[in-house]
Structure 1
Amino acid sequence: MTTENKDLPVPVIVAPIINEPAHNPIHSWGTARVEEGTLVTVRKSGSDEVWLRARVSNSGEWSGIFSVDLPKGTHSIEARLTLGNEHSAWSPVRQFVVG
């Protein structure tokens, strides 16, 4: 169990790119201003369905492939960081389209 730390920054989702059709397998990446190895969790927005877990690199970037293929249509994701026993707030929701 982790607790929210408001001082832990929220990760930034860069991809999937808004208004550009994505295709399976979905690749997601972003940035985070935290120490290398911090865990990034990407989930279906508003649910407990995790689609990606990745680690922040020494350059402050994270990336990975979703663990599920998504049907065509609009989808929403959000991400948060976990460091030790603490996690950040969820990022702003990112909508994207699978074509």
Structure 2
Amino acid sequence: MEINDQTLTELVRLTQENNRMLHKMRRNALWGGILKFVLYALVLVVAPLWLYATYLGPMMEQVLDTYQQIQGTGAKAQAQFSDIQNFFQQLKNTVSPQQ
């Protein structure tokens, strides 16, 4: 195969076209990687924070309020039980003869 000016010109043209395609591919790969990183960051970081602030936060506040009410009711019941014990102790002291 003989190399002439036409062959060299065609070779230069194909090389330049190949170089342009490779640069486009690299640029697209870079932008695709950046976009993929941003999407993963949104899915793995921002979405859970938003879901917590929107749904889980208010539900947890309600659960904690209910828990505190239950604790308060338990403390009131314990105080009433203590009062009942004191009443029976006083009744026992007044009914039984003092020695």
What TM bracket, shorter-length normalisation?
under 0.3
Higher helix share: 2
Larger radius of gyration: 2
Q: Normalising to structure 2: TM-score of the pair?
A: 0.12
Q: Normalising to structure 1: TM-score of the pair?
A: 0.12
The structure with higher relative contact order (CA 8 Å, sep 6+) is 1
